[in-house]
Amino acid sequence: MGLVPEDTDNTIAHPRGLILTLSLVIAMRFAETFLSYLTGIGLTITSVKELLISNGLNVLFFCALLSAAKSFGRIEVGRFFFSRLPQAGEVLRWGFLGVILSIPAFAHAGELPTYFGYEGYMTFTLLSILRSAILMPCIEETLFRGICFASLLRVGRIWAYSISTLLFLLSHVRLVTLIVRGSPDLTLSHTVIIIVFGLVASYIYEKTGKLTLCIIFHAAGNAFVTSRPFFMYLFDQ
């Protein structure tokens, strides 16, 4: 048995954790759809302006997520993230695995926009890293592992793994794309990668109770995929 169920004084009880997760996923998808049309952000982010808007919204959502977690459960934010800090060996092992599991996504990331070689490329790159390797891992691991998975683990491991991973997968379906194109815009390989990442991150959290380690694992994979345009630029040169 993992460590998560033992930390009962700093988690959200079932079914509050599941209700909070569902509510925030729905709110995030509809807010994204509304703001996409309101701000002019299209199906993909291709400019510094759009990245600034997206990052700003993600910061606001993360703050709302932490506020909701404190309201729904007995959550102390400092302990929630830093009560069990990962060791250097754990960081290297799980970070490396995150990169390895991201290789298929890296191979199919050729459509990612790049500003390399043009004015503003450094700003675009730094904002992309902030979004993909910091903000999104923090948001998704807090929501799907720290809240959803931890609360469902008291019901049963199968329920915890399956429901948290399913919601993690559904959170990657953009309503904007679904409405405009009539498609979830997820290939089979992308779907498999998301499921595998969700299961592995849940396993890390169950066995170690270290949410920061889940974030590092997730961030390493995202950072590797985001680096694809940089390698494409070097190759072109």
Q: How many domains does the chain have?
A: 1
> Predicted confidence band at 202 (pLDDT cuts at 50, 70, 90)?
very high
Among 6, 20, 2, 17, which residue's Cα sits nearest to residue 152? 17
DSSP-derived secondary structure letter, 133 = I
Handedness of CA 21, 27, 33, 38 (dihedral sign): negative
Give the model's pLDDT for residue 178. 67
Q: Across residues 96-121, what is the average pLDDT? A: 75
Q: Across residues 68-72, what is the average pLDDT? A: 83
Percent of the chain surpassing pLDDT 70: 77
> Predicted confidence band at 182 (pLDDT cuts at 50, 70, 90)?
low
For the ranges 3-12, 64-73, 117-126, the maximum mean pLDDT occurs at: 64-73
Mean of per-residue pLDDT scores for the chain: 82
Cα–Cα distance between 235 and 172 in angstroms, integer?
A: 30
**Terminal Cα-to-Cα distance of the chain (whole angstroms):** 52
pLDDT exceeds cutoff 50 at 204? yes
Contact 211, 146 (CB under 8 A): yes
Give the model's pLDDT for residue 192. 92
How far apart, in Å, are the Cα atoms of 55 and each of 33, 83, 102, 107, 225? 15, 27, 22, 25, 18
Q: Across residues 177-191, what is the average pLDDT? A: 73
Other C-beta atoms lying within 10 Å of the C-beta of residue 65: 22
pLDDT exceeds cutoff 80 at 3? no
Contact 148, 163 (CB under 8 A): yes
Cα–Cα distance between 64 and 29 in angstroms, integer?
A: 15
Among 136, 134, 115, 135, which residue's Cα sits nearest to residue 125? 115
pTM, entire model: 0.88
Sorted by sequence, the CB contacts under 8 Å of residue 176 that are 6+ apart come out as 32, 33, 36, 37, 43
Cα–Cα distance between 168 and 106 in angstroms, integer?
A: 20
- pLDDT tens digits for range 133-150: 999 999 999 999 999 999
Tokens of 138: 């923090």
pLDDT exceeds cutoff 50 at 1? no
**Amino acid making up residue 135:** L
Cα–Cα distance between 146 and 56 in angstroms, integer?
A: 23
pLDDT exceeds cutoff 90 at 83? no
Cα–Cα distance between 169 and 191 in angstroms, integer?
A: 7
Residue 146: give the domain boundaries: 4-236
Tokens of 133: 């390797």
Give the model's pLDDT for residue 43. 55
Cα–Cα distance between 36 and 33 in angstroms, integer?
A: 5
Q: Across residues 43-57, what is the average pLDDT? A: 78
